[in-house]
Chains A and B, each alone.
Chain A
Amino acid sequence: MNQEPRATQFDPQLARRVLAFVKPYWKQVGLALFFILITTLAANALPLVFKFAIDGALAPKTPLPVAERFQTLAVAAMVFVGLRVLDFVTRYAQTYTLAWIGQHVLYDLRAAIFDKLLRLHVGFFDRTPAGRLLTRLTSDVDAIQQFITGGLVGFAADLFMLVGIMAFMLVLDWKLALVAFAVMPLLLLVTTWLRIRMRAAYREMRARLSRMNAFLAENLAGVLTIQLFVRERRQEEKFQEKNRELLAAYIEVIRWFAPFFPVVGFLGELAVASVLYQGGGEVLRGAVTLGLLVAFIDYTRNFFEPLRDLSDKFNIFQSAMAAAERIFGLLDEPEYVTDRPGARPVSRLRGEIRFEDVWFAYQNEEWVLKGVNFTVRPGEKVALVGATGAGKTSVISLISRFYDVQRGRVLIDGVDVRDYRQADLRRTVGIVMQEPFLFAASILDNLRLGDEGISLERIREVCRMVGVDEMIMKRPQGYHTRLGERGAGLSTGERQLLALARAMLHNPDILLILDEATANVDSETEAKMQAALERVSEGRTVIIIAHRLSTVKDVDRILVFRRGELIEEGDHDHLLRQGGYYAKLYALAGGASLG
């Protein structure tokens, strides 16, 4: 996935994909366009009311009775009110419909991205910073919404208005209309020129801003180094330099930005003046009425607004294109671990695990497991032992099918894990992580994980068994204690015990895998953990990544890994007698800890 977007130009294929998200709402889009059309008509009819009032009441060409003139004025006022109300209603309906469409597209896009994230395999998350994924869901989606409501439909609205005004003017008096339009080429020329300059200046400004921000971030991160080397003053000078460069870029932007609206305003006045000049003569000759002239001045003024907005829309298009490219980049990310068609549902497992010549690498050919073979019998308790990087964690990940093997097979109850439905497999395979992840929710919610069918009694029972109930009940709010982000507020040991309880509650049947690293746990918690392990292992297959001797002594069998290979297996005494790698590890540990 690319951080830097390449698409800054309009890309029809990308636009089509974005539009596919709008398609389900084509009826609403049609409705919005309808409202826009009515608004255009209503807004353009207003000057005609004035024409009608002026010609019929305020300045009639032929003398009329005063009563009739007042009557005309009253009619004009009523029509005016009617048009205004219509304008209000359709304008309101238009804005609301647009917001509705935008929000629903947004919703669909977010759901699509979120679904995609849930389907992607764990390896993807190892490689991709969370912040980047979050940006896809937030600011990138927002940019698309801008594109649809502000850009696409706003574009249509401006276009309608522009065409509407031009049509009204041409129909009313094409000669006068052409006089009003005479300024247009000049306006387009000047604004396009200013805009090009502005865009170039703006781009330079963005580049300098990001340079300054990078410098700032780096200096804040390395502030202690700067202080230790007494570099504060020189870093300040450098910062000043970057800051001044940025300022110069800002000033350059302002240079082109400052004249923009004044120029547009002046050209507007110029157009009004030309219409007045030409129209005035025609009024004097009796070719047009005074009312028409006044109406024309209104049209000329209105004419400039959509013209000015229209070019603004292109900026929105550009940033939306970049966002769309990033979003679809994520949506197109290949999913490596997927359910096969007709994958096998399963609710209970006996718990036999077999690795058949398993080769596995996280990337390329950097093998983490090299031809591993072993079988764990149902109900057996096995420990994995080895140095860091020997491949123990990978074994565990493969059983849960967080990754797929490159060669060989992982079988559970004689069936390849790739033939099970992922959800079923993982529901029956419980896992406790090295660094257990808890949600920012209550302890209860963390244990239940949304399954309201689990009673509090059952929860407490399991917690008592694991030995964490007492710790929970000591807190004023007991099981309703809210945890902070990632379980903040608990010690590592407590988190591990909770994670163990959680696994027990949800996968009580078949197989429990513990990835246990208790380096940061005090001895009391360690003892608790030990006792808990003892109790939970009854009647199920258990695989433990063991670091401590006490664990290892208790298991039925030990598998010793070294650099991705299974080099020794047997129980503790047997392995010690063998006098191999395990025996050395044991001696090195000095009876304290392993690997």
Chain B
Amino acid sequence: MRTDRSVPPLHRLWSFVRPYLWKYVVGIASGTLSLVFSVLAPYFLRRTIDRIQAGEAYLPFILGIVAAGLLAGLFSWLQRWVAIGASREVEADIRESLFRHLMRLDFYYYAEKPVGDLMNRLNTDLQAVRDMLGPGINMGFRVTLFIVFAFAAMFLVNPALAAAVLAVAVPTVLVARYLMHLADRRWREAQEVYDRIAAKAEEDIAGIRVIKGFALEAKEREAFVALNRAYIEKSLALARVEGPLQAAMSLLLGIAVLIVLLKGGGEVVAGRMTLGEFVQFNAYLTLLTWPVLGLGWVLGIFQRGQTSWRRLLELFDEVPRVRDGPETDPSIRALSGEVVFDRVGLRLDERRILAEIMLRLKPGMTLGVTGRTGSGKTMLARLIPRIIDASEGTVYVGGHPVRKIPIETLRRHVGMAPQEPFLFSESVFDNIAFGLEHPDPDRVEWAAKLAGVHEEILRFPKGYDTKLGERGVTLSGGQRQRVALARALAKKPEILILDDALSAVDTETEAKILQGLKGVLGQQTTLIISHRVSALRHADWIVVLEGGRIVEEGTHESLLRLGGHYAELERLQRLEEAL
């Protein structure tokens, strides 16, 4: 969906509703018909009563009641089926377009938004919008129209009596509205306390060691119980409003009935009204109880629906910072493995992450990167496939500035294996073939062999078809890393990035895998980020990062001779091995 902030929120909802407009029209039309028949039933009732009283044949009118009831039911069925179904379809469309949008939001967005929050929003807000479009519209329409029809019918029978009933009905609606409003407010107050109870419990569970460590159990219990006591109070305050809501409605409508009984009864006695008409009036009043209550309910649904829709629009209006723009050149299709960093700097939230990075990787070259945690290694790698964009300077891939390359093209040429890879709860095969246009068993197996995980996969219960994740096999850290490496290799990327990608694998296996990569591929440009000298030593060029700057660079031998950070790292690792 194109985002345009100048369009009012409900118009943007309209674009989702429009495709199903005919369903709404059918729904509303059948709803109207259903109402006409519902209102007719009391009329037949009146005629039946009058006939009975007069001692005449009444069967046709009884059949009228049955027919009206049948038709009212059928049309109401049709309305519910069509219109509620339509709201589900609109919901599905919105959900789909949200998903599409979410797939395009970038690292910057997800770094700040916990997935749990997003899921919550998608579920609760979408549901509120759907309630507005389904039951909201349906009920709102039905309830309003019913009130109108019922009063119209009453006026036809006896205008004076109808006017008297209306005089009572209007304040009834107002009182209902007020009570609902009050109930809503008290509900929110109760909810606030409830949230505090939940927060308190959450905090205490998280801090259970402190509570036990300081023997605070009794105090915490007291605080928790006090909150619960406050919650009882708030809830009962709510009950005091909610309780009378229904009771008060029936009392107020009782006044209307009383009017009919006294005034209408008087008219009957005086012979100005038939008994049938009297019964008809009462029938309408009984039927009106629900719509009067329902009106307030429907208004609430609309309020919540609109608030939620606005929140969803906020999500729709998030624009990814990393995206194809006017400078993108769609004619770029193929890239060589050349990577150049030209005075590249990076800031995130005012924090300097990288500065003055100058690097040139010829196609086929292997670059080793090392440095302490937080020195900017991972961010350096992330600049190449544009997970993030440089704040200063330019990154070139295949001779083009990365911003000119269509993102898809760029990413198809880069394979990345991270330290903590994300695998999907699908089969091992699907995971390795994740980046392939057409899953190719030979390619998958080749990649798994290269990543040194093929034999282990064969030992899984169903080999390559073994499902991973919650309902499947749980992989060890090292296996996860190697599956992710295979996934990156299967793409046969021009540029391969190993971001501490074998840290959970023992040094020996790692060396074997790296050796294998060199032998078979050789032609791709490789970036190896590692803390291990053993992984770096065969690189063509090695850089040491500290505080986002390159502080040392050279070959393994030249860096050892230099006697700086790299040499120290090498010394420590030698000692560790000896231990």
Contact = CB atoms under 8 A, between A and B. Distances in A.
B553 interface: no
Given A117-B205, A423-B217, A229 B72 contact: no
Contacts of A486: 203, 206-207
Contact of B254 (A57, A69, A84, A280): A84
Contacts of B106: 227
A160 interface: no
Contacts, number: 348
A293 interface: yes
Nearest to A249: B88
B80 interface: yes
Contacts of A226: 103
Nearest to A223: B110
B74 interface: yes
A269 B41 contact: yes
B268 A58 contact: yes
A171 interface: no
Contacts of A134: 198, 201-202, 205
B261 A222 contact: no
Nearest to B84: A254
A228 B414 CA distance: 8
Contact of B88 (A228, A254, A268): A254
Interface string B98-113: 0110111111001000
Contacts of A261: 76, 80
Interface in A223-261: 223-232, 235-236, 239-240, 243-244, 246-247, 250-251, 254-255, 257-259, 261
A220 B235 contact: no
A277 B197 contact: no
A92 B416 CA distance: 66
A579 to B, nearest CB: 13
Contacts of A227: 103, 106, 387, 411
Given A92-B247, A107-B232, A588-B576, A137 B103 contact: no
Contact of A217 (B58, B119, B198, B217): B119
A228 B387 contact: yes
A424 B240 contact: no
Contacts of A273: 62-63, 65-66, 69
A485 B9 CA distance: 34
Contacts of B65: 269, 272-273, 276
B261 A53 contact: yes
Given A114-B221, A243-B95, A262-B77, A122 B243 contact: no
B215 A422 contact: yes
A interface residue count range (under 10 / 10 to 19 / 20 to 34 / 35 or more): 35 or more
Contacts of A491: none
Interface stretch (A9-17, A93-101, A458-466, A538-546): A93-101
* Residue with the highest number of chain B CB atoms closer than 10 Å, among A118, A301, A423: A118
B213 interface: yes
B203 A439 contact: yes
A587 B575 contact: yes
Contacts of A230: 408, 411-412, 435
B282 interface: yes
A400 interface: yes
Nearest to A294: B279
Interface string A72-93: 0110110011001101100110
Contact of B73 (A266, A272, A427): A266
B41 A117 contact: no
Contacts of B466: none
A431 interface: yes
A227 B216 CA distance: 48
A107 B414 CA distance: 58
* Residue with the highest number of chain A CB atoms closer than 10 Å, among B205, B236, B435: B205
A530 interface: no
Contact of A231 (B63, B209, B238, B434): B434
A567 interface: no
B213 A431 contact: yes
Interface in B478-525: 487, 491
A517 interface: no
B385 interface: yes
A84 B251 contact: yes
Interface in A545-595: 584-585, 587-588, 590
Interface residues of B, number: 128
B429 interface: no
B73 A262 contact: yes
Contacts of A426: 212-215
A307 interface: no
A96 B245 CA distance: 11
A254 B85 contact: yes
Contacts of B206: 130, 437, 486
B260 to A, nearest CB: 10
A247 B92 contact: yes
B81 A254 contact: yes
Contacts of A87: 247, 250-251, 254
Contacts of B85: 250-251, 254
A74 B575 CA distance: 107
A216 B99 contact: yes
Contacts of B243: 91-92, 95-96, 99
Contacts of B216: 449-450
Contacts of B199: 440
A344 interface: no
Contacts of A91: 243, 246-247, 250
Given A99-B243, A122-B208, A265 B66 contact: no
Contact of B55 (A246, A284, A585): A284
Given A87-B250, A103-B236, A270-B66, A433 B224 contact: no
Interface in B124-163: none
A588 B579 contact: yes
B393 interface: no
A242 to B, nearest CB: 10
A246 B41 CA distance: 39
B45 interface: yes
A186 interface: no
B401 interface: no
A282 to B, nearest CB: 10
Nearest to A337: B212
A356 to B, nearest CB: 24
A19 to B, nearest CB: 20
A457 interface: no
B411 A133 contact: no
Contact of A95 (B107, B247, B469): B247
Q: Which 5 residue pairs are nearest across A and B when measured between Cβ atoms?
A: A269-B69, A99-B239, A95-B243, A266-B73, A229-B435
Given A106-B232, A236-B96, A262-B72, 7 more contacts: A49-B261, A118-B221, A217-B115, A219-B103, A232-B104, A251-B88, A585-B579
9 contacts: A84-B251, A107-B232, A111-B228, A219-B103, A228-B414, A236-B100, A254-B81, A259-B77, A422-B215
